[in-house]
Homo-oligomer: A and B are copies of this chain.
């Protein structure tokens, strides 16, 4: 059982999903890495498996993160992602059960245990409050609580989803770090979710679709730094 990396809070997640080609993903990774160093803020950066090696080699401040993996061990498993392959490529974390790649409960549990064996930090997605509580029982290191209906919309939940699901997770296990990022597009959005209890935030389309990545990322890092200064590094 290896030890997964630790994240200092508050932290950023940059999750380009399948939006970018390899050259653009690397460009975004290098820019994020530069700002992460400058602001001294931790960052989860996800990528397609095929780009992991290059990102891991050329960045120093990012928690290089795969977007899925399968609960297989070395052997059969044609077309499935071997956890060892991700670790060897330089990934130190993996996102599981994203709404765009939902897993059965049994597969999710088995895959999380494989991640634990390899010291890959588990970042597990959940939607409703009940699902958030269920995933919290599986002992993830980090959770992404995200109302599926808001993904990719650029609009945040207007009710109590953020505070309520964060609290539900922390009541089960206060050591789980909670990301709230649905609809987040600016530093002001990030401040708002951190004030409601989240440990990290960031996003996909809110960053990728911005006219200038440096501008939006600097805005987000500034918000994280500002929150950190006010509240202290938890």
**Partner-B contacts on A (CB < 8 A):** 15, 17-23, 46, 48-54, 67-68, 72, 74-82, 84-86, 88-89, 91, 95, 97-109, 126-128, 130-131, 133-139, 148, 152, 172
Extra A-B contacts (17), CB below 8 Å, given A53-B53, A105-B134, A109-B131? A18-B82, A18-B85, A21-B88, A49-B81, A50-B91, A51-B53, A51-B89, A53-B54, A67-B79, A78-B98, A78-B100, A78-B101, A79-B95, A79-B100, A102-B104, A104-B105, A134-B137
User: Shortest beta-carbon distance, A116 to chain B, in Å?
Assistant: 11
Cβ–Cβ contact A50 & B88, under 8 A: yes
Cβ–Cβ contact B126 & A133, under 8 A: no
User: Shortest beta-carbon distance, A87 to chain B, in Å?
Assistant: 9
- Copies of this chain held together in the complex: 4
Cβ–Cβ contact B76 & A152, under 8 A: yes
Closest to A72 in B: B18
Contact residue among B23, B46, B75 (Cβ-Cβ distance under 8 Å from A19): B75
Chain B residues whose C-beta falls within 8 Å of the C-beta of A97 in the assembled complex: 104-105
Cβ–Cβ contact B84 & A21, under 8 A: yes
User: Shortest beta-carbon distance, A81 to chain B, in Å?
Assistant: 7
Chain B residues whose C-beta falls within 8 Å of the C-beta of A101 in the assembled complex: 78-80
Cβ–Cβ contact B137 & A78, under 8 A: no
